[in-house]
Structures are given as C-alpha cells and as structure tokens.
Amino acid sequence: MQQFSIRDIEHLCGIKAHTLRAWEQRYQLGISDRLGGQHRVYSNEDLKEWLRISYLYHNGCKISTIAAMSQTEREARLEKAYETDNPDEGFIHQLIEASLDFNKEQFEKIIHCVVLRNGIEHCVQRIFYPYLHRIGLLWLTNHAIPAQEHFASHIIRKKMLVATDGLEKPEREGPRILLFAPAGEYHEIPLLTAQYFFKKAGFKTVYFGTNVSAESLVYYISNHPVDYLYTHVITFLQETSPEAYLLELKKHFKGKIIRSGPAFRLLPDDSTGEIVLHSLEELILLTRNLTSQPTI
C-alpha cells in the first residue's frame, strides 16, 4: 500500500495543509493514521476520499454540506458534478483515482470518453497536461508519484501516437523540424505533443525521441537539412549546464533552436538563435504562426 503525506494531499487536491487539518478536526473528514505517532500518513483510499471532497468543494459545495452527506449522497452529487459543474476537472480526478490503482481499463475508458466527446486536442490541453502537471510528470516536484507517472505516460503515449498517425493533412513546403530530448531525459509526452501540433500544421518533422546522445544529433544535422531543433527538457542530467549544452549545440547547428521545459527556465528568453516557449498554448500558437521558409 502506498503512503502519502499531507503535503502530497495538498499538492494533488489544491487545498492547503492547514485547511485539511482543520477539516479533519472539525468535521472528522479523511482522518489519517500517524506514522510513529508523529506524521500523518494517507493511504490510496484516503487520497481518493480527499480528491472527491476537494472536487465538490472547488465546485461550490460548502465543506459543512459535504461533511453532512452520506457516502451514497456524496457519490450521487459527484456523478452529477462530473457531468455539469466542471467536466474536465472531473476527468482529471478520475484519472488520478484510476492511476492510484493502476486500473488500465478505467484509465483508458476515461481517455476514450473525453476524446470522443471533445477531440484529442481538447484532451491534450485540458486533461493530459493538467493531470500530468498534478502528479508531477511535467514539472520538477518533491511530491511526484513515479509509479503512476510511468503507468499513465505509457497509455497517453499510445494515444498520442495513434492521433499523430491519423493526421491526414499533407506536409507543406517549409521548415523541417527535428524533435528530441537530450541524453538522460526520458519524459516523452511533451515531445509527442509538439510533434502532433507541428504535423497538424503541415510541417515536416523528424522525430528522434528521448535520451538522444549529442553525437547522434550532431551526425544527423551535419548530413541532413534541418531548419529547427525542438527540445523539451524537464530534468537536465548532462555533465554540463543547460546553457553550455545549448552553446555547444549551436556550434554544429545554424538554424533556430525551439526550447521549452523547466530545465531551461533560468536561462534568458532573448538568446540569439532561439525561440523560447513557456506553455503548451505558446507551442500551439507557434505552429500556427510559423510561416513557410526556404529549407536549408
């Protein structure tokens, strides 16, 4: 059984730890065990309960009302809320619950439902990214749940590959974009997302994926025409700094580097020969605004 701290609950539910403690004491909600009589520890079931409580609370239900509900009443209110109050947030909560139990069938069912209802792009922007952000896959955090990250990313990866393969828009004359993550970086969802939107815009893409050695990258760009390099890095594990890595890359590549991800957040945005993206929305806007250019 997994154990979570009150900070994990705070991170996943969006409710401050001191508020959680107050609700525990006042309403006897989500009472946890104490490890060695000191620190609160929460089980999977505890976390699920707090996820449901927080969802109702964030959607306008008073905590005193939630506390007075029976389990049956709470489940009925949740089912209604998921459909009417904030469906996207409801899907995210359900994904977290499914991933806690490694329930592949339920996880895939939720994704299938939202894709059918709203399309893959809505799913990526409103479901996948917020969900992955919540469990710590896209951002550096001390409250990540590694096992659930791997479980979820594998399923989402398959969905993104199918969606990308299903794009029918023909490639147009214009920039050729190589997508990669450097050696030591294995988070692939941001790269697959970028590839989807670049291909949807009709650009030619070369997908190298994650954990790409500098030697492989330099060999390719030295022998093949590429206008842009795109990389998203969450945890930079090279011996050099991110800045030194980019400088070395520029010695071999004369086009523009499109970079995003937490590992680059301390670098200046106005670096020569670079396009800096801070969000998924900025990536989508770039794919729409990138005009046709002569290839190298």
8 Å CB contact between 90 and 81: yes
Query: For the chain, which domains are there?
Result: 1-85 (1.10.1660.10), 87-166 (1.10.1240.10), 169-289 (3.40.50.280)
Give 104-142 as a DSSP string: HHHHHHHHHHHHHHH-HHHIIIIIIHHHHHHHTSSS--S
Which residue from 249, 279, 288 is spatially nearest to 125, judged by alpha carbons? 279
- Among 189, 141, 13, 6, CA closest to 89: 13
Say if residue 117 is exposed, middle or buried (CB neighbours under 10 Å; 0-12, 13-18, 19+). Answer: exposed
Residue-level pLDDT, tens digit, the chain, 296 residues: 577 888 888 888 889 999 999 998 898 887 666 655 567 788 888 888 999 999 899 988 999 999 999 989 988 888 888 877 788 888 998 999 999 899 999 999 999 988 998 999 999 999 998 898 887 755 444 445 678 888 999 999 999 999 999 997 666 677 899 999 999 998 899 999 999 999 998 899 999 999 999 999 999 999 999 999 999 998 887 888 899 999 999 999 989 999 999 888 888 887 778 999 999 999 999 998 875 444 44
At position 121, the amino acid (one-letter code) is E
